[in-house]
């Protein structure tokens, strides 16, 4: 091996060692250890993210949400996903931002500024369930698909290491985890 190759190889090993140390012992995958290139799973061309918050029907909101579930968009707080609806951060609040046609990826707490609270009994398809804590790392939000007397079906970007998916949450789960309903102000 020549000197240049040995140096390059040493640098690559050092970089791998640092990444391993940075992510070691955390127990979960974190955005800091994830690749920084945008996720590009969809074969569709990247659409333009709206310049202003959209006015959408409930059917359109669900169609947009289902597009990420069908594509199994991987969760990431540091990467974005782009499809025909635009480019959004690939986490729970970025997902709801995309489904609601917002002009950018909101975070869980800031979604409260474009929505209003709604009782769990009054939830409709296209609404969301959220539990916003006092820090951005503790909040979560999911898009309501349908509800039953015993629970609710949601589209969600659950956590690191998972992907967009349809889930069933019992009303007991919703209550025990302090979720409450919110409705996008621009839903038609």
Contact 181, 127 (CB under 8 A): yes
Enumerate domains of the chain plus CATH numbers.
42-184 (3.90.1720.10)
DSSP string of the chain? --HHHHHHHHHHHHHHHHHHHHHTT-SS--GGGS--SPB---SSPPPPPPSS---B-HHHHHHHHHHHHHHTPBP-SS-EEEETTEEEESSHHHHHHHHTT-SS---TGGGGGGEEEE-GGG--TT-EEEE--SSTTT-EEEEEEEE-SSEEEEEE--STT-B-EEEEEEHHHHHHTT-EEEEETTB-
Contact 125, 66 (CB under 8 A): no
Confidence bin at 46 (pLDDT 50/70/90): confident
Residue 42 is predicted with a pLDDT of 43
The residue-averaged pLDDT of 55-78 equals 97
The residue-averaged pLDDT of 87-95 equals 96
Residue 45 is predicted with a pLDDT of 77
Q: What is the pLDDT of residues 154-184, one digit of tens each?
A: 999 999 999 999 999 999 999 999 999 999 9
Check pLDDT > 90 for residue 100: yes
Model pTM? 0.75
Task: Spell out the SS3 assignment of 157-174.
Answer: CCCCCCECEEEEEEHHHH
Residue 33 is predicted with a pLDDT of 27
Average model confidence (pLDDT) across the chain: 80
């Amino acid at each position: 091996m020549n000197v240049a190759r040995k140096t390059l190889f040493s640098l690559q090993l050092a970089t791998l060692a640092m990444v391993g140390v940075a992510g070691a012992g955390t127990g979960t995958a974190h955005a800091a250890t994830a690749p920084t290139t945008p996720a590009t799973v969809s074969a569709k061309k990247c659409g333009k993210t709206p310049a202003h918050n959209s006015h959408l029907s409930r059917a359109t909101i669900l169609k947009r949400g289902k597009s990420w579930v069908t594509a199994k968009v991987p969760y990431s707080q540091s990467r974005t996903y782009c499809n025909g609806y635009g480019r959004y951060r690939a986490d729970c609040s970025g997902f709801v931002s995309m489904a609601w046609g917002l002009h950018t990826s909101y975070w869980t707490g800031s979604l409260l500024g474009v929505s209003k609270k709604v009782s769990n009994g009054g939830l409709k398809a296209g609404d969301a369930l959220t539990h916003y804590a006092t820090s951005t790392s503790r909040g979560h939000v999911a898009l309501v698909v349908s509800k039953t007397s015993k629970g609710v079906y949601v589209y969600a970007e659950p956590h690191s290491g998972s992907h967009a998916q349809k889930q069933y949450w019992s009303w007991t789960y919703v209550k025990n985890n302090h979720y409450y309903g919110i409705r996008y102000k621009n839903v038609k």
